[in-house]
Amino acid sequence: MKNIFIIYRSMFTPQGEVHTIGGIENYIISLIETFHAQGWKTHIVQPAKVNFINEQSGYTINGVNTGLYRGNSKKFALAKWVKQHATSGDIVIFATDSYAVKIKSLTTIGIQHGISWDKPKQNDSLVAQWFSSLLNQYKYLQSARKSDALVCVDHNFVNWYRTWITPKNQYIKVIYNFFQQKLSTEQLNIKWAKTPQPIKIIVARRFVDYRGIKMIAPVIDKLLNQFSNIEVTFAGEGPLKPLLEQTFSADKRVTITQYQANESYSVHQQHHIALIPTLGSEGTSLSMIEAMAAGCLVISSNVGGLSNLIIDGFNGHLVMPNADEFENTISHAICNMSHSQALASRGHESIEQICSQQQWSNAWVGTIETLSNQKMSNDCD
């Protein structure tokens, strides 16, 4: 049986319950399911105040007391524990590449979830902006180099990586994020069978500045005054929630809500247009994929890995991350719903293969097997 160790900063309680369910946690759970289907055993390795082991069906949770290590440095204690318990031929996966540590005796994979250092800079000084960006890129470059292999969620990171170094001896694989549920073609046609009234728009993002909430809120306010046939849902949580509540307190056509990760598909299914006004730090967005799978027209900024999924004017809209472009594009979509339906239909079709969970699982299994075969070949040389 193949043993796979997944190192992550924090996920399970000693009782085996998940602390919080976010994008990375869902990713890890799906990896466990994929490996279990292959007959492979997964070992989750995470920091803990007291050492513990919790056996689950198909995987083990290992809480490791990291002693005096603090913050990101806890990864060194976790890597040391893995070196003591793993054997040659086992695979080590760093659930985020920032947690990667060199382990020469084992095959290691870092998961790169998308460039995060492209957020708008708060400092007006060009020199300060440049210096801050350079430091961030150096930090992430160092993290990326510490694994034998990198699995990336988009090509944006790979292209950036190549501008710095030529990764001759590093295996790199792009595996897009995935949807778990998808409308059938018949269901899509029913959803768009006649011009919807009202037209429902959703912004499913964390309520933080770099997700474009401050930028898109006044745009939505203007559109509500311009169009009487639209309703808008803001779904998420974060420090900008009071701003949204204050801006839209007098308009009953705006809903501010929150849902669990496993409810995303059903929520998007009830909407026609999904907005992704991200300003930075984005891979192949789960919100985008889930919206396309649920038959929504996606209007997105052209940030990070988002452009890997949308071809502007073919299966959605890609715009510069500024208020004027979003306002004009949303207005055009509302006034041309037959065209919006055509784009939503192509978006729904375009992700059917490349973003299916089966495709994702197959790509991961293929990656593990390729690296295992390389390890065996190198050991025999």
pLDDT, residue 105, reads 87
Residues 35-46 have a mean pLDDT of: 96
Question: What is the rounded average pLDDT for all residues in the chain?
Answer: 93
Does one domain contain both 117 and 259? Answer: no
Whether the per-residue pLDDT at 220 is higher than 70: the answer is yes
- Determine the average pLDDT of the residues in 269-295: 95
CA distance 150 to 346: 31
Task: State residue 381's pLDDT score.
Answer: 60
In this model, does residue 20 exceed pLDDT 80?
no
Share of the chain above pLDDT 90, in %: 77
Q: Summarize the confidence of residues 241-256 as an average pLDDT.
A: 96
Same domain for 38 and 170? Answer: yes
162 lies in the same domain as 128? yes
Question: In total, how many domains does the chain have?
Answer: 2
Both 96 and 112 in one domain: the answer is yes
What pLDDT is attached to residue 122?
74
119 shares its domain with 229: no
* Mean pLDDT to the nearest integer, 103-119: 92
Nearest to 212 by CA among 290, 299, 328, 127: 299
Q: Kindly state whether residues 155 and 225 are assigned to the same domain.
A: no
Distance CA 30, CA 22 (A): 12
pLDDT at 22 over 90: no
When pLDDT is cut at 50, 70 and 90, the band that residue 195 belongs to is low
Give 121's DSSP letter.
Answer: P
| DSSP line for 331-368 | HHHHH-HHHHHHHHHHHHHHHHHHTBHHHHHHHHHHHH
Query: The domain containing residue 230 runs over which residues?
Result: 185-354
Give the pLDDT confidence score for residue 374 in this predicted structure.
85
22-31, 140-149, 193-202, range with the lowest pLDDT = 193-202
Percentages helix, strand, coil for the chain, rounded to the nearest 5?
A: 45, 20, 35
Question: pLDDT tier at 167 (50, 70, 90 boundaries)?
Answer: confident
Domain check: are 346 and 373 in the same one?
Answer: no
One domain for residues 156 and 45: yes
Cα distance between residue 381 and residue 379, in whole Å: 6
Instruction: CATH number of the domain at 103, please.
Output: 3.40.50.2000
Average pLDDT over residues 104-128: 87
Across 19-30, b (16+ Cβ under 10 Å) vs e yields: eeeeebbbbbeb
Lowest average pLDDT, out of 11-15, 60-64, 274-278, 325-329, goes to: 11-15
* Whether pLDDT at 34 is above 70: yes
* Cα distance between residue 319 and residue 331, in whole Å: 13
User: Does residue 194 register a pLDDT over 90?
Assistant: no
Mean pLDDT within 154-170: 89
Clarify whether residues 101 and 55 are in a common domain.
Answer: yes
Name the residue with higher pLDDT: 199 or 197. 199
Query: In this predicted structure, what is the pLDDT of residue 380?
Result: 63
Judge if 214 and 143 occupy the same domain. Answer: no
Q: Is the pTM of this model over 0.85?
A: yes
Q: What average pLDDT score do residues 305-319 get?
A: 97
Specify whether 148 is located in the same domain as 197.
no
Instruction: Report pLDDT for 265.
Output: 92
The pairing of strands 52-56 and 59-65 is antiparallel
Is 171 strand, coil or helix?
A: strand
Q: Are residues 156 and 23 in the same domain?
A: yes
Look at 18-27, 104-113, 171-180 and tell me which has the smallest mean pLDDT. Answer: 18-27
